[in-house]
Amino acid sequence: MKKRGVALLCIALLLISALVGCSKANTTNEANEGANKTETNKSSEIRFMWWGGETRHKATVGAVEIYKSINPNVVVETEYSGWDGYFDKLTTQLAANTGPDVVQMSYTNVAEYVAREQLMPLDDLIEKGIIDISNLSEATLDMYRIDGKLYAIPAGVSTSLLFYNKEYFDLAGIDYPTENWTWDDYMEAARKLTMDTDGDGKIDVWGTSYVEDPVGADLGFKKYLYERGGKLWSEDLKSIAFNTPEGLAAVEFIKKPLEEGIMPPLEITASNPQNVDDFQTKKVAMIINFSPMTQTYMSSDINFGIERTPKGLEKDAFWINPSMVYSVTKDCVNAKEAGKLIDFLINNEQAGDILALERGVPSNSVTRKRIAESLSDAEKLMFDCIEKSTSDDIVNEPFPAGYMEIHSLLKREFENMMYGKYNPQEFLDVVEKECNKILSKFYE
């Protein structure tokens, strides 16, 4: 009896699975039919993919809705996620030839995807007047011209700024930073701001911070190098150009606060929760960081001010980077529709209002002026600082293919150097060898 029961149960299970299988097959058939039906007007269907946080998703979906209401015959599918795994997903889709049409790229990895022939040049669309770039800065567009062709349209721009905690400045009794500050003033203030606030004999506030993420060539290092007249890459992008006395001076300058004890020990910074820096945990009085961090700091209870970064000792140098860019992938069937969407996101007034600062300060100078009116005080400060910065000498270098790998290498080796595994010169030697190895894969 028992055996028969088991057998019956097995048969029942098999039948159920067979039924489930059938019903699945049916639905896929239906789906196929559905796909066939829409095949006829598939030309006006485009997929748009980006990464971001909750607010960016909301704003972007809102902008796409407006676009759809203006162009009712166009179907825009949106596909969005967080930063983690975004490029794994994109890479996989592109490898399977199922990539999205319009894609938000990082400002650093366009060249790599171009080298792998995954993006489409946009010059055609610009010539035909589908994408209007007249209000964008030529200097930033130039970063995405590869062999004379343009592959990306910047959505917003960013630079590095000095953020300072007013409370700690008041406590130490020193004046707030001004736009005339030099790095000497900055270091002097950092020494005074390193203090013991609760009187237990241990230092608990430090003057300055080591910015964990963009430690590589993206932020600090690059600026210090430019100020000393150095450059990141050779003209042909085949090798690095910073294993020089200028590069060494820049690296030593970054390490100096650690040696002087005016920034938190690395162990303390490393124990911050993910994506939280020392400025947010109120361990430091000043930090040099990306301008988009303004919004992050605004959402905390820190009473902070913003100033342009201090003036270089030898000369002034600023960089303005796009924060994010839009590209069209090789899988795009209807480039015209993709171009129209990009043009809308960059130039349309309504889109500009709803997207606001979600992708950094808008790259479109007209939009920038218009929305500046409606900003909060801190955001206005950031705007002013970017305007101040742009009026000075801007140095921009393109990001070579392989930069993502170089970035993660620089970050890792920088940490090794800061922890004392190498001295600055050894660091430069190691990095030169490894970086050139990576670059040689792309530039022969």
Partner 1 sequence: MFGIKSKQLDTSKYNNKAAFLFLLPWIIGVLLFTIWPMIQSLWLSFTDYSIYGSAKFIGLDNYKEMFFDDRMFKNSLIITLKYVIMFVPVKMVAALFVAILLNKKIRGMAIYRTIYYIPSIIGAGIAMAVTWKIVLSRDGFVNDILSIFGIGPFDFLTSPKMALGTLAIMGAWQFGSAMVVFLSALKQVPNELYEAGDIDGAGKIRKFFKITLPMISSNILFNLIMGIINAFQVFTQVSVITNGGPADSTYVYMLHLYRTAFESHRMGYSSALAWILTLIIFAFTVIIFWSSKKWVYYEN
Which residues of this chain interact with partner 1, rule CB under 8 A? 88, 91-92, 94-95, 116-118, 266-268, 270-271, 273, 404-405, 408, 412, 415-416, 418-419, 421, 437-438
Phi-psi region of 160 (alpha: psi -120 to 50; beta: other; left: phi over 0): beta
Q: Considering the complex, what minimum distance in angstroms separates the CB of residue 202 from partner 1?
A: 11
Residues in the chain: 444
C-beta closer to partner 1: residue 94 or 157: 94
Which tokens is 159 given?
Answer: 């630079």
Rounded Cα distance, 207 and 229, in Å: 27
Question: For residue 362, which of 291, 310, 304, 296 has the smallest C-alpha distance?
Answer: 291
Q: Considering the complex, what minimum distance in angstroms separates the CB of residue 190 from partner 1?
A: 22
Q: Considering the complex, what minimum distance in angstroms separates the CB of residue 13 from partner 1?
A: 12
Q: Considering the complex, what minimum distance in angstroms separates the CB of residue 148 from partner 1?
A: 23
Rounded Cα distance, 165 and 280, in Å: 10
Write the CA distances from 93 to 298, 354, 355, integer angstroms. Answer: 36, 29, 27
Q: Considering the complex, what minimum distance in angstroms separates the CB of residue 268 from partner 1?
A: 6
SS3 of the chain: helix, strand, coil, percent, to 5: 50, 15, 35
Question: Interior CA angle at 318 toward 316 and 319, to 5°?
Answer: 160
C-beta closer to partner 1: residue 74 or 115: 115
| Residue 28 DSSP SS3 | helix
Q: What's the first-to-final CA gap in the chain, in angstroms?
A: 76
CA 117 remoteness from chain centre: 22
Pair 155, 345: CB distance under 8 Å:
yes
Write the CA distances from 178 to 89, 171, 214, 254, integer angstroms. Answer: 44, 18, 24, 21
Phi-psi region of 217 (alpha: psi -120 to 50; beta: other; left: phi over 0): alpha
Q: Considering the complex, what minimum distance in angstroms separates the CB of residue 422 from partner 1?
A: 10
Q: How many CA atoms does the CB half-sphere of 295 hold within 13 Å?
A: 12
Q: Considering the complex, what minimum distance in angstroms separates the CB of residue 421 from partner 1?
A: 6
C-beta closer to partner 1: residue 228 or 407: 407
C-beta closer to partner 1: residue 66 or 438: 438
Q: Considering the complex, what minimum distance in angstroms separates the CB of residue 271 from partner 1?
A: 4
C-beta closer to partner 1: residue 114 or 193: 114
C-beta closer to partner 1: residue 121 or 402: 402
Query: Which residue type, as a one-letter code, is found at position 72?
Result: P
Rounded Cα distance, 212 and 208, in Å: 12
Q: Considering the complex, what minimum distance in angstroms separates the CB of residue 320 from partner 1?
A: 27
C-beta closer to partner 1: residue 111 or 189: 111
C-beta closer to partner 1: residue 88 or 138: 88
Q: List Cβ neighbours of 169 (8 Å cut-off, separation of 6 or more).
A: 175, 176, 189, 193, 285
C-beta closer to partner 1: residue 116 or 256: 116
